[in-house]
Amino acid sequence: MMNPSNFIFILSLVSGTFISISSSSWLGMWMGLEMNLLSFIPLINKNKSPYETESAMKYFLVQAMASVLFIVAVLMNEMTEFSMNIHSYLISMALMTKMGAAPFHFWFPTVMEGLDWMSCFILMTWQKLAPFILISYKIINNLMILTIFMSTLVGSVGGLNQNSIRKMMAYSSISHLGWMLSAMLISNNLWFMYFIIYSLLNLAVIYIFYSQSMNNLSQSYFIKNNPTVKFSMMVSMLSLAGLPPFLGFLPKWMVIQNLVMQKSFFILLFMVMTTLMTLYFYMRMMFSSFLFMNQEIKWYSAKFPSELVTLSMMVSISGIPLMTWLMLY
């Protein structure tokens, strides 16, 4: 049963996000972001472990610095003597720092490393929602394009030599963030659809890691006694990597189509090439559980619920009928 205090913090977390995205003033948006921040800190430090405490402190310091930058930019916006557009850049930089976009990403993998899987899921999905929506109010094309290039590059290169699954997922999130920003330049509906699909796929993958108590890549050698888990992990990884015909390819395909229509060939080629690099560490996680099948060590004792495995697998393969329908009609 959920701890009542955790329920209150989750309710406050959700309320802070909705206050931020529904406010008509920058000050109200800032207050919503702060409410969200102060609600998330107790959630990530609920077990009082040294790793969680360290991650909570790092997260708080970075978010507080971004909040100071945000409120300074808002005050500059209200001062008439500032005729330059500096405040728009500062607001965008503060929001990109809050959601961990490159080149403001340095805190993100280290914070992820100390969290439990549920906190990781919230950090990779819900905590990005408010900054994304606020950035859409003040889109600065040249800054956004720089962030898209940096995020897709850092997300692909950073995860290549990692053994920690949490850090791999963090760099994967940075790479997907670059794709979502490019979708935002095209259409708000497109980036929101990308965000929803990415969140569902993340939930499917993280549930497998949580249930198998997986923290490092070497532990995936010992997923032994349930082939359904192996197949579900394979499908979820391929879908999160964006390979056709799985669900994860659908939003990337729509982004590619729109970039081709806009004749943005250079940025499209760069994003596709860096995404192929991210495929390497997705395949590392997937193959390690398939190729080493004779180990005797088990990292968990509870029986894995096959219904939830099937559900996570169905989320990933639901893109097959969707893409078939789109191709035909």
Distance CA(251)–CA(268), nearest Å, equals 14
Looking up tokens 């497109």 gives: 190
- pLDDT score recorded for residue 292: 53
Collapsing DSSP to helix, strand or coil, 95 comes out as helix
Domain boundaries, the chain: 4-328
Inter-residue long-range contacts of 138-143, CB under 8 Å, 24+ positions, other chains counted: 138/88, 138/91, 138/92, 139/184, 139/185, 140/88, 140/89, 140/92, 141/185, 143/89, 143/92, 143/93
- pLDDT score recorded for residue 152: 96
Mean pLDDT score of the chain? 85
Structure token pair of residue 146: 């720089």
Q: What's the alpha-carbon Rg for the chain, to the nearest Å? A: 20
Q: DSSP per residue over 228-258, as a string?
A: HHHHHHHHHHHHHHT-TTSTTHHHHHHHHHH
Structure token pair of residue 60: 């708080």
pLDDT for 275-300, tens place per residue?
A: 999 988 888 877 766 665 544 444 44
CB 224 within 8 A of CB 293: yes
- pLDDT score recorded for residue 235: 85
- pLDDT score recorded for residue 300: 47
- pLDDT score recorded for residue 80: 60
Per-residue pLDDT of the chain (329 residues; tens, 9 = 90+): 568 888 899 999 999 999 999 998 989 999 999 999 999 999 998 888 899 999 999 999 999 999 999 999 988 877 766 556 788 889 999 999 999 999 999 999 999 999 999 999 999 999 999 999 999 988 778 899 999 999 999 999 998 888 899 999 999 999 999 999 999 999 999 999 999 999 999 998 898 888 888 888 876 655 555 677 777 888 888 889 988 888 889 999 999 999 999 999 999 999 999 999 998 888 887 776 666 554 444 444 444 455 555 666 666 666 666 655 555 44
pLDDT for 20-32, tens place per residue?
A: 999 989 899 999 9
- pLDDT score recorded for residue 296: 46
pLDDT for 104-117, tens place per residue?
A: 999 999 999 999 99
Structure token pair of residue 69: 């930058």
- pLDDT score recorded for residue 53: 93
pTM across the whole model: 0.89
- pLDDT score recorded for residue 325: 56
